[in-house]
Homo-oligomer: A and B are copies of this chain.
Amino acid sequence: MNAQAIDQYFKDHREQHLEELKTFLRIPSISSLSEHKSDIRKGAEWLKEAMLKAGLENAEVFETEGHPVVYADWLHAEGKPTVLVYGHYDVQPVDPLNLWESAPFDPQVRDNKLFARGASDDKGQTFMHVKAVEALLQLNGELPVNIKFIVEGEEEVGSPNLPQYVEQNKEQLKADVIVISDTGMQGPGRPAVCYGLRGLAGIQIDVKGPKGDLHSGLYGGAVQNPLHAVVEILESFRDKEGVIQVEGFYEDVLPVSDEERAEFASLEFDLENEKKELGITEDFGEKGYSFIERTWIRPTLEINGITGGFSGEGIKTVLPAEASAKITCRLVPNQDPDDIVAKLRAHIEAHKPAGVTVEITDFDKGKPFLTPYDHPAIQAAGRSYEKVYNVPTAFTRMGGSVPIVAVFDEVLGLPVVLMGFGLSSENFHAPNEHFHLENFDKGLRVISDYLFEAANL
């Protein structure tokens, strides 16, 4: 491989690549909101065309029971391994909209960062893989490996239909390694290959009391208030340090070796700077675990939203008819999401407040994932990063969830390489999401190199 020629190619095409990515980012493909159904389809169609333009073949938008999956491949490297690239073209909702400095679907470059919903998570990173293929095909007329892309539109809602798609298309998706760029680096200029992810399980809790809102003066004290009831349930989940009180919650947690914890401790991590970046005066959580460990190897239970009663300006002395809360748990190996939801349900049943009814709705689930960090496919990714960033690659875990990773692991039985280019400061899932273009530029080169590395697996 002629690394210089590839570098030059990406320099020459930088403006063109960014303009194309902006077009992709202008499509408001929010998967959780039904009013964006047609935008999701637009996102899929745009990606299919971009893949064909890159030189990929057999590009197709496959229907599922939810939002479609985009597939494409290039399979002319006879006798060579096959790399399966996974990404997602759907994005998170954008509220609160008033906190965005520029509109979420009007991509803007400021200070060498690209601001838009999906810039980093995950349209930007998926787009880089397509452009790496295009570059190699333009320069060499061929790729060093066979390659397949599978890009879904439901990652941000827990990938409800992808497991079935993967099951039903095992043959189409056959490969030797899966590469996913949907995670973060260790910090600016500090590449990381991630070998473990937390899983996800969550529920919505709906508490219903009287049939209509009541005057808190006329009935307060004699009728249970659904807001107090939902607070009572929520407060029972954790103690004041965040240790989860749900019976059996921790019982399947896989112990983490002292060696692995020593590796985490050796990673460059500036807690004071992290607190400053986050705008908090103190960190929080389980005693005996570091900030990194609390987010990588310990499970959590977080309230994501509470609704009920009056939220307008001023005072309204209402005793509301209903209240609700959304909670999600991050799970670590070997916790099982179905088992955790069953335990949450049993906990609520055992802590049910007087005078109200409680309904529980499951959210979509994702299993936690772990692969040995000394696997050759992962070490190869470390080498590709080092060639471009000129620093050692960290081998890390991550606190987030890519639920489909566990499915790839289980159904296809392949090593999963999480090769991320995001930074934790880039506001995924929050207002002002952005992507540092330094990592866009370097990432294109890392991905291109990895296709050559993968040829020797």
Contacts and interface: CB of A to CB of B under 8 A. Distances in A.
A223 interface: yes
A315 B158 contact: yes
Given A231-B234, A328-B315, A213 B431 contact: yes
A330 B217 contact: yes
A221 B300 contact: yes
The 4 closest A-B pairs by CB, nearest first: A211-B279, A217-B400, A305-B309, A235-B235
A313 B427 CA distance: 21
A220 B295 contact: yes
24 contacts: A93-B312, A157-B314, A184-B218, A210-B279, A213-B429, A215-B400, A218-B295, A219-B399, A220-B302, A221-B294, A221-B299, A221-B330, A221-B399, A222-B283, A224-B282, A228-B238, A230-B306, A302-B317, A305-B309, A306-B323, A307-B311, A317-B328, A317-B429, A318-B430
Of A33, A34, A92, A309, most buried by chain B (CB within 10 Å of CB) is: A309
A303 B225 contact: yes
Given A202-B315, A305-B311, A428-B215, A223 B280 contact: yes
Contacts of A218: 184, 295, 398-400, 424, 428
A131 interface: no
A106 interface: no
A242 interface: yes
Interface in A204-255: 209-225, 227-228, 230-232, 234-235, 238, 240-242
A267 interface: no
Instruction: Specify how many copies of this chain sit in the oligomer.
Output: 2
A93 B95 CA distance: 25
A251 B27 CA distance: 61
A222 B302 contact: no
Interface magnitude class on chain A: 35 or more
Interface stretch (A164-172, A284-292, A386-394, A441-449): A284-292
A280 B321 CA distance: 10
Given A32-B313, A304-B309, A330-B220, A213 B430 contact: yes
A308 B309 contact: no
User: By DSSP majority rule, is chain A's interface helix, strand, loop, or mixed?
Assistant: loop
A304 B218 CA distance: 14
A314 B34 CA distance: 10
Interface of A: 32-34, 92-93, 95-96, 99, 157-158, 184, 198, 200, 202, 209-225, 227-228, 230-232, 234-235, 238, 240-242, 278-286, 291, 294-295, 298-300, 302-320, 323, 326, 328, 330, 353-355, 357, 363-364, 398-401, 424, 427-432
Contacts of A319: 302, 304
A222 B93 contact: no
B224 A284 contact: yes
A249 B444 CA distance: 65
A365 to B, nearest CB: 11
